[in-house]
Amino acid sequence: MPQTTKDTPMMQQYLSIKKDYPDAFLFYRIGDFYEMFYDDAVKGAQILELTLTARNKNASDPIPMCGVPHHAADSYIEILVEKGYKVAICEQLEDPKDAKGMVKRGIIKLVTPGTNLDAKPDQSKENNYLAAVYLKQEQYYLAYTDFSTGEVKVTTLANLAQVQDELLNLRAKEVVVPADTSEQIITKLQQLGIMISKQELTQDHAEVAFVNQNLADTQQKKVVTYLISYLVETQKRSLTHLQLAQSYELNKYLQMDHNAQSNLELFRSLRTGDKSGTLTWLLDETKTAMGGRLLKQWLQRPLMDATELKARQATVQLLLDNFFQRGSLQDYLTKVYDLERLAGRIAFGSVNGRDLIQLMTSLQQVPNIKAILRDIQAPILDNLVATMPDCSTLESLIGKAIVTDPPISVTEGNIICDGYNELLDKYRSAMQNGKAWIAQLQAKEQEVTGIKNLKIGFNRVFGYYIEVTNANKSQVPTDRYERKQTLTNAERYITPELKEKEQLILEAEEKSVTLEYELFKEVRDKIKQHLADLQVLAQILARLDVLQGFAVVSETYHYVCPEFTKQNNIQIDAGRHPVVEKVLGKQDYIANDIKMDPKTAVLLITGPNMSGKSTYMRQMALTVIMAQVGCFVPAQKAVLPIFDHIFTRIGAADDLIAGNSTFMVEMMEANDALQHATNKSLIIFDEIGRGTATYDGMALAQAIIEYLNKHIQAKTMFSTHYHELTQLADELTTVKNVHVDATQENGQLVFLHKVLPGPADKSYGIHVAKLAGLPDTLLQRAQAILTDLEAKDTNLQSKTAVTISEPVDDQLSLFNTVSDMQQQLLDDLKTVNLMKMTPLAALNYLAELQSKLETES
C-alpha cells in the first residue's frame, strides 16, 4: 500500500495511525477536511461517489486520496456504517498555530454498525444492538447492549444454533468475539450478515466492574467484559450511562425462533419487508420513542409469569375505564422526548443546548403524569407513581441556565440565560454598552464629516471599521481616519478612538463565549450525576406508554381481556386475526371460534386453498402472543393456557445459504418442533409434507400427527390437503377435524371463511385455479381428467388413512387367496418405482390395477 519514495512526516503519521485500524476507513483531519488515502480513498470514493485525486501527482507512484468537508462528515460516515463498515475518526489534537512541527493527531472514536449513535428520525423506535459471544466448555454466552441507551443483558445458550437465532431476533448489527475464536464459529456468525469484531480480554476498566457487579456466573461476567472492553477501547469517551447487566433465561419467556417471528409477521411484512401489516404496526400506539422500543422488546419475549401478566392487564383495564384521564396522559407523553438516548448523549458529552431543552420539557410533564395516575385512584398506579424519581431540580437547573431557543453549537455563545452567572452578565453589559457607544459614534461621525451614509460595521477578519462610499471619499478627515481596506465601491477606515473601543468589546465577547461554554459544561456535569434517575424514569414512562397503547388498541378494535387457565384448554369465541381485521375492517371480517378441550391435542384443518386456513392458524398464534404481553385480544371471549413455545412451519422457501431445499427446510423446522415442544407448546403446521411426492408427504404428515399424539400432546393446528388424514379423528381421540367452508354459486367458487366442525368434502383445486385466471381450455382439460379419474375409482375420495398399528416383523398379506392374475399384478407392483412417477401417473397406475382386479372378480 505505501509508496516506495520516502514518506513525508504527515504521511508517516497517517500510516502509524492507520496500522492500528486496518479494518476501518480512516478519516484523517487536515484543516477543514477529513482525508482518506491509499485503499481507503479508492474504495471510499466509489462508495461515497467522491472525486478520486492523488497526492504527489507528479511522483512515480502518487498516493490516491479523496476527502469530505468536516461539517458534512456525519452523513458520509452514516453511509459507510449503514453498509457495514467501520470508520475511525482522526482529529487534530492541537491548534496548528501552536504546533511545533507536525500537528498532533489521534483517534477520538471508532464508529461501527453496533456503536452508531446517529439514528434517523424514522428509526427512533428501533434498538441498535452490539452483541458479544463467548464459548466455554460447550456452552455459549451471549451479551448485548444498545450503546445509545446503556441497557446491557446477558444469557447462557446451549448451542450455536440458539446463538444465531438470538442474534437474528435481536437484529444485532455487530458481534464482538474473543481474538482466539475459531474460524468455524466466525464463519457461522458471518453467514447471518453481521459484522464480526475481535477483542482481547481486559479486566481493568472501571466500567466493566460496574456493569458486572450484579452477575453471579463467571462466564457471563467474562462475555460482558469482552463487550464493555470493546466499547471502552473504540469509543474513547465516558460510558457512565451504562446500566447494570441483567441476566435472563430464554425458558422464562414464551420462546419463538426467528422463523416463527418472521412467519407470524411480528415486526416485518413477509411481502414488503416493512413494518406496515405487522403485529407491531397494529399495536404501536405509543407516544414516545422509548415506548416504541419497549413494545418490540415485549413482543420478542412474551411473558410466562401469570402474576406480571395480570398486573399488566389490570393497568390496561384501568386506562380503558378512565377515558378522559387516558387522553390527558397521551397528551403529556407526546411531549416526552427520548430520555434514554438523551441520558446517553449527556454521558458522552455530545449533548447540546436543544437537547437540554428537550430534557427540561420532558421533565415538566412528569408532575402532570403523576397527577393523572393519582386521580384514577388505584393502588397499582399509585405504586407506579411512588417509583418515579424526583427530577424537579434538574428541570429547574436547565430552566435557569439555558435559553429557551439555544443555538445548535455549544461553543459560540448565546446559550446561557441572563442572570445565571454574574461575571457573564458583566461581559454582556460591556458588549451591549460598547455596541450602544458604536451606534453613538456612527451618528457623531456622520454629523462631523457631513457624510450621511457613513456607517460602522464589523467582520471577524478586520474587526470594526468605518465604511465610506467612493463618492464621499473627499470628505474623509485625513488626520484621524486610517485606511484599512479598499472595496470596489467604498473604502474602510479605522480611527484611534474606534480601535480602543474595539479591543474592549472583542475582549468581552471572547471571554463571554469561553465562559458560556464552561458554564454549559458545568450544567451538563451536574445533570450527569442524575443519569441513573433519568434512566429509571425513562423505563417507567416507557412501560406506561406501552400499556396505554394497549388500552387504545383494545378499545378501538373491541378486544377482551383473556383469562389464563391451568386446565390446558383453549376457548376462543368469535376470534379474529387482528392485522387482517384492521386491513379489512371489522364489518367485513368473518370471526371464528377456536376450541380445544384438555384432551384435544391436534386440530386438523382442511379446506380449499385461499379459504383462510393459514389466517385461522396465525390468528391463534397472534392471540397467544398478544395475551402473553399483557394486551387484550381480538375475540368475544378468550380462555388460554400459558404457552412456553410457539413453533411454526408455514410457507415454502429454500435456505440457499445453508444449501437446503424447500422440503429440507420444512423437515428441519418440523423436527425442531418435535424435538423441543412440550405439552405446554403451540405448534402451527401448514401443509406439512407438500414439498415431496404425494405418498411420501402423506406418510410423513400422518406419522408426525401420530408422534405428536403419542409423545408430546402439544396443542397443534395442522392444515392439510391430504383428505385421507381426516380419518385419523376416528382412530385418535386427541385429533379433531374442522374445515373452512366454501360453496359454489353459478359454477363459481365462493369462500365463506367460516370454520365448521368436520372435514372438508373436497379440495376445489380446479376452482381455485380458475380464480387465479388459468386459461379456460386448460381448466376444461383438468376437469375432464379429474372426472375420468373419479369414474375409474369411485372410492378415491373416501380412502382412509393407513391403519395405526405398531410395527411388526412379518409383512401382512394383501389378499386372503391369491389367483394367478392377482399374483401377476403383485409381481408387477414390486417392479414399479412409484418414487419416480408423478402423482397423476401413480394414480392412473393404481386405477388401472384396481380395474383389472375388479374385472377378474
Residues 715 and 782 in one domain: yes
- Is there a contact between 481 and 497 (Cβ–Cβ < 8 Å)? no
Q: What is the domain-level CATH number for residue 372?
A: 1.10.1420.10
Query: Which tens digits make up the pLDDT trace of 692-709?
Result: 666 777 888 898 999 998
Q: What is the domain-level CATH number for residue 158?
A: 3.30.420.110
58 inside domain: yes
Residues 153 and 195 in one domain: yes
260 inside domain: no
User: Residue 640 is placed in which grid cell?
Assistant: 388460554
**DSSP string across 791-823:** HH-TTGGGPPPPPP----SSPPPS-SS--HHHH
**Residue 216: what pLDDT?**
95
> Which burial class, exposed, middle or buried, applies to 294 when counting CB atoms under 10 A from its CB (0-12, 13-18, 19+)?
buried
Query: Which tens digits make up the pLDDT trace of 22-78?
Result: 999 999 999 899 999 999 999 999 999 999 999 877 677 889 999 999 989 999 999
Residues 237 and 304 in one domain: no
Q: Which of 79, 111, 143 is the last residue of a domain?
A: 111
Name the residue with higher pLDDT: 497 or 376. Answer: 376
Q: How far apart are CA 194 and CA 172, in angstroms?
A: 7
Q: Which of 92-101, 146-155, 347-356, 564-573 has the lowest mean pLDDT?
A: 92-101
User: Residue 644 is placed in which grid cell?
Assistant: 412456553
Q: Which amino acid is located at 500 in the chain?
A: E
DSSP lists the bridge partners of residue 604 as 718, 737
777 inside domain: yes
Number of domains within the chain: 6
Q: Which of 66, 86, 111 is the last residue of a domain?
A: 111
Mean pLDDT of 74-97: 90
Name the residue with higher pLDDT: 16 or 120. Answer: 16
Residues 642 and 698 in one domain: yes
**Residue 691: what pLDDT?**
66
Mean pLDDT of 558-571: 96
Name the residue with higher pLDDT: 66 or 651. Answer: 66
Q: How far apart are CA 388 and CA 58, in angstroms?
A: 68
Q: Say whether 630 counts as a known binding-site residue.
A: no
Residues 365 and 438 in one domain: no
578: Cβ–Cβ under 8 A, 6 or more apart, which residues? 279, 282, 557, 559, 619, 622, 623, 626, 633, 634
Stated pTM of the model: 0.83
Q: Say whether 805 counts as a known binding-site residue.
A: no
What values do phi and psi take at 55, rounded to 5? -95, 140
Query: Which tens digits make up the pLDDT trace of 450-473?
Result: 999 999 998 877 889 999 999 999
pLDDT tier, 6 (very low <50, low <70, confident <90, very high otherwise): low
pLDDT tier, 120 (very low <50, low <70, confident <90, very high otherwise): confident
147 inside domain: yes
pLDDT tier, 654 (very low <50, low <70, confident <90, very high otherwise): very low
Residues 475 and 623 in one domain: no
Q: Say whether 659 counts as a known binding-site residue.
A: no
Residues 714 and 835 in one domain: no
399 inside domain: no
Residues 449 and 487 in one domain: yes
Query: Which tens digits make up the pLDDT trace of 574-584?
Result: 999 999 999 88
Q: Say whether 344 counts as a known binding-site residue.
A: no
Q: How far apart are CA 86 and CA 652, in angstroms?
A: 36
Q: Which of 18-27, 535-544, 629-638, 715-724 has the lowest mean pLDDT?
A: 715-724
pLDDT tier, 855 (very low <50, low <70, confident <90, very high otherwise): low
666 inside domain: yes
**Residue 534: what pLDDT?**
96
Mean pLDDT of 562-567: 95
Q: Say whether 609 counts as a known binding-site residue.
A: yes
Q: Say whether 269 counts as a known binding-site residue.
A: no
Residues 757 and 662 in one domain: yes
Q: Say whether 399 counts as a known binding-site residue.
A: no
Q: What is the domain-level CATH number for residue 617?
A: 3.40.50.300
- Is there a contact between 362 and 287 (Cβ–Cβ < 8 Å)? no
Residues 133 and 235 in one domain: yes
**Residue 813: what pLDDT?**
38
Residues 636 and 741 in one domain: yes
689 inside domain: yes
Q: Which of 231, 248, 265 is the last residue of a domain?
A: 248
Query: Which tens digits make up the pLDDT trace of 412-428?
Result: 899 999 999 999 998 88
pLDDT at 819 over 80: no
pLDDT at 799 over 70: no
- Is there a contact between 686 and 716 (Cβ–Cβ < 8 Å)? no
214 inside domain: yes
pLDDT tier, 815 (very low <50, low <70, confident <90, very high otherwise): very low
Mean pLDDT of 521-528: 95
The whole domain housing 95 covers 9-111
**Residue 62: what pLDDT?**
87
Query: Which tens digits make up the pLDDT trace of 361-414?
Result: 999 999 999 999 999 999 999 999 999 999 999 999 999 999 999 999 999 899
Percent of the chain with pLDDT strictly greater than 70: 86
- Is there a contact between 142 and 239 (Cβ–Cβ < 8 Å)? no
Candidate ranges 371-375, 478-482, 486-490, 818-822; pick with highest mean pLDDT:
371-375
pLDDT tier, 148 (very low <50, low <70, confident <90, very high otherwise): very high
pLDDT at 215 over 90: yes
DSSP lists the bridge partners of residue 134 as 141
Residues 439 and 477 in one domain: yes
Mean pLDDT of 219-232: 95
Query: Which tens digits make up the pLDDT trace of 740-754?
Result: 887 666 656 566 778
Q: Say whether 608 counts as a known binding-site residue.
A: yes
